[in-house]
Structure 1
């Protein structure tokens, strides 16, 4: 472990509340910008492209893992929590990235993978060496059943049993993901202490916050009780693909344990030692996701915000579905704070998942910026990139290789960012990229869209700017949530400002009643006309935004 520390002074205002309503831009470092020509993106590449991100008007970046790793799961299998993998650069490169980001007014969040490490981590190497060494209980070990089978029925998200036999200890170890990703034992206080020290390392280095991977997987049932079956009618493919037997269980004991709350409170207490650090947790659970989000974000001593998978699923957000999700969030997390995302590095890009045309993508971008909560944008989302088709021979994702062809994995959303169309690599690299650049993406490049006034890129900038221009949209409350046919509408309000928002989520025109009172159209070309009286007419996928006139 590299123990060097370096405190970076941030020119940003130390606002402890910056995260509330923030727009966070996710970067998948392997695929953002390559600076060396080896076909793999890196930290220097990210630094080079920070001006593009700043031009979007976002508040922060979230960088997926860049730590030392054997890359069996592309960085989500960490072998050193306190150093940069050489393929991405050095700690000095990271320092330079933070300094440049802060100069541009961008905060930096990094991906903390605390639930499991790589099997190449020194902690695991020591733990598996014997049953009585200093780290023997740092991972989840269990004796076999009398017949030699695993201790219970827990399943891995990546397929098969969540238990792997180890001949050294003649025991099984738990892995909720790949066999090369053993789960850390959070019931061991020393494990929690060691992980929190790695968090402090990056805080001392100047990071502004964290995205917490699989936040509800940290703690397992101490008694190792088997999970009950899940009735077929209750199975949901938002966390794992339909063909994965993981969907056949109700995961009562392998994750979501109540003891996790105490660890999250320790984590938050550490962050609160710093001027303005914040965290967003990923809740991976199909049955209790919103409930867990409410538990984890309640009060001011747990995680600042969480996101679940309601809008990362394959269910197209109709007006009725949006109302259903937002209502359930309000019920499950009345004291909490959501973080919304339509795309990320683990799911099919929403332009393809929901089969969205140009106007529909504009409508959903505006909707995202009007929701109560914080928001995440995934690299290329601002360009309207669709899911890339990756041939089996080009696949890198072990998840896709395991379940091909019924599930093609996550490579289709991880292909390189396209900056220009002057070469077949889209300006991403001078060498052959680690995943092929989708040919159809080249015409959607940043350079191409900069020259097109109607491009989605400019729309995202306008939508983000609108959110930041009105506190009611970024930090305010939401009320009057209604689904009227294909139109979802609500009101956002804060400190005397009231904004009416309506979205026609349909290929057909629609009309809605104008809210009572005096209203002024808001958002310029983002909005349809809002007449002084009568109904508001919305074209297909059109939005209406209006601010109440104060009398």
Structure 2
């Protein structure tokens, strides 16, 4: 049983809470700085939970706050059971959980189990010799006879996935930075250690996990070379187009079948506790939906997964949206998706999909509403509710090693990680008194919470309004989806749950359009924030708008 920190809670032990949940992602470095050191922290998150609660979301996902040398800003963990001092104390996390639960918000944390920091004590011991108790806890291999790496595997951050270690006279594998060695989950002792980490945080009262790069946990034991990928199949969604990682078909360095049994072990621990859920990030643009289907099938692995389809740069189209949902349903007939348009790793979607769009506010509201009516759960990334754009940072301001490596062809991930803007009149937009770790873009101040709070037409209040609208109708969270054959730019589908059917129409263009009124009797739904124009024979859809009606 969970030892949740003391404090009253408005949460119920609903094991199915995650199905159709709206989850708000917090990148702790950039949310709220409570002590003036320029870096957001756990106390800052706790102080801003009333804002999160005002949105009406079901849960928060907090990106890593564990002890780390911060070479990849927390995704290089050196102590899974500790809070890094820049974020505060373990007691601060306990306070955060207690306050979140009091406000009716569940807390999910980001676990990075495929790799650690090279400063983790496990790796320090592992690299000390070939014969220590943890010698096989990481992926080690002898070189080829000519001293080159054991195979052709590539790192997502550029170059070989192998780094030479002069003490062991062997290579170790790293899918990301050289300072992020990959754990060897073929070793059952490693699995047991990671399950102990899972249990540690469950005992502290967390409600679930977001599992980073979930398909990277296992590698091919034979270390076989990946085959080349035909140029026409190269896809820049997993890695930027300038990265040769896209030149391989990743058959052997990830997506291994052994992962299914480990995920079952991970799920079994969660099932010992009430109302726990996990969402896995499938880091693969080649076969992401197929993997998501495998990992969410059977009710004994992940509750839900999200892939990269809606995190891609390709513009949204009615046919494209329908195809993604169709492909997921085909790949995962028993599974459940978790959709996101933005996160801490990709260009913010209002910038990514903004080419030729003049009405930023209307576009941002439209995208929010579309995301929240698709079948599946939803992740909203901090600042998305303000319509924040991607920041254009100077090279000297960059912190992300990924962007520094590939500048200027790929500018990295800092542009979506700049601090939240709370108060347009306060220093640093209200983020904190000290110089922020990344600059606060001047153009973001006009979109601060203080500016949008009292404007009922703002993007912020549209998120609040639409989330409240969504909660009125269980079909949005739990229902099936069936697409209707409308022509572009209109996307049409029905959400069905029990005896209720809701027709959803979206005009995915900057020009007003009209469609024929369905023959069924319609009860127009209000409260979502879009204008409704229902005539005797036509439904008129203003630019970037939605229409919702109960079908009898």
TM-score, structure 2 as length reference:
0.97
Residues 1:445 and 2:448 aligned together: yes
Q: Report the Cα offset of residue 514 of structure 1.
A: 2.1
Residue 420 of structure 2: which of 412, 417, 420 is its match?
417
Query: Are positions 1:394 and 2:391 aligned together?
Result: no
Q: CA deviation at 1:451?
A: 2.1
> Residue in 2 aligned with 1:497?
500
In 1, the alpha carbon distance for the partners of 2:51 and 2:534 equals: 37
Alignment correspondent of 1:229: 228
Q: Take 2:535 and 2:512, find their aligned partners in 1: how far apart are those partners?
A: 20
Q: Are 1:519 and 1:532, in contact at CA under 8 Å, matched by a contact in 2?
A: no
The residue aligned with 1:268 is 267
Match of 2:100 in 1: 101
Map of 1:53 onto structure 2? 52
Are the counterparts in 1 of residues 4 and 98 from structure 2 also a CA contact under 8 Å? Answer: no
Q: Secondary structure in 1 aligned to 2:299? A: coil
When residues 483 and 251 of structure 1 are mapped into structure 2, their CA distance, relative to the original with a 3 A threshold, is: farther
Preserved CA contact (<8 Å) 1:115 1:183:
yes
- Where 1:311 maps in the other structure, the secondary structure is helix
* Shift in Å, 1:11: 4.4
Q: Which structure 1 residue ranges, 5 or more long, are not aligned?
A: none
- CA gap 1:543/1:11 in 2 versus in 1, 3 angstroms: closer
Q: Which among 466, 469, 472 is matched to residue 469 of structure 1? A: 472
Is the 2:427–2:433 contact (alpha carbons within 8 Å) kept by the matching residues of 1?
Answer: no
The two structures have a TM-score, normalised by structure 1, of 0.97
C-alpha distance in structure 1 between counterparts of 2:128 and 2:325, whole Å: 49
Q: Which residue of 2 aligns with 1:407?
A: 410
- 1:207-356 alignment, distance < 5 Å: 207-355=206-354
Task: Write out per-residue CA displacement over residues 116-171 of structure 1, whole angstroms, 9 at most, x where no aligned residue.
Answer: 00000000000001111100000000000000000000000000000000011000
Give matches, 1:496-515, under 5 Å. Answer: 496-515=499-518
Aligned-pair CA distance for 1:14? 0.5
1:432-467 per-residue CA deviation (whole Å, 9 max, x = no partner) reads 000000000001000100021210000001111121
1:485 corresponds in structure 2 to: 488
For 2:163, the equivalent position in structure 1 comes to 164
Per-residue CA deviation, residues 349-385 of structure 1 (Å, 9 max, x unaligned), is 0010001521111111111111100000000000000
* Contact 2:533/2:541 (8 A) holds in 1: no
Deviation by residue 1:256-289 (Cα, 9 ceiling, x = unmatched)? 0011000000001110000011000000101100
Query: What's 2:173 paired with?
Result: 174
- 8 Å CA contact 1:8–1:204 kept in 2: the answer is no
- The number of residue pairs the alignment matches comes to 545
Alignment match, 2:540: 537
Report if aligned partners of 2:199, 2:269 keep a CA contact under 8 Å in 1: yes
Residue 530 of structure 1: CA displacement?
5.4
Q: For residue 69 of structure 1, what is the aligned residue in structure 2?
A: 68
- 2:523 corresponds to: 520
1:323 deviates by: 1.2
For residues 48 and 276 of structure 1, what CA distance do their matches in structure 2 show? 25
SS in 2 for 1:376: strand
How far is 1:239 from its partner? 1.0
**What stretches of structure 1 move > 4 A for 4+ residues in a row?**
none
**Kindly tell me: are residues 483 and 409 of structure 1, through their superposed partners in 2, closer, same or farther at Cα, counting changes over 3 Å?**
farther
SS at match of 2:310: coil
Q: Which moved more, 1:377-386 or 1:313-322?
A: 313-322
Deviation (angstroms), 1:525: 5.0
Q: 1:255 to 1:429 in 2, by over 3 A?
A: same
Query: Contact 1:487/1:504 (CA < 8 Å) preserved in 2?
Result: yes
> Counterparts of 2:284 and 2:485 in 1: how far apart (Å)?
27
Tell me which residue corresponds to 1:8: 5
Could you tell me how far 1:183 is from its partner in structure 2?
A: 0.2
- Secondary structure of 2:429's counterpart equals coil
Deviations 1:383-435 (A, max 9, x none): 00000111100100000000000000000000000001113400001010000
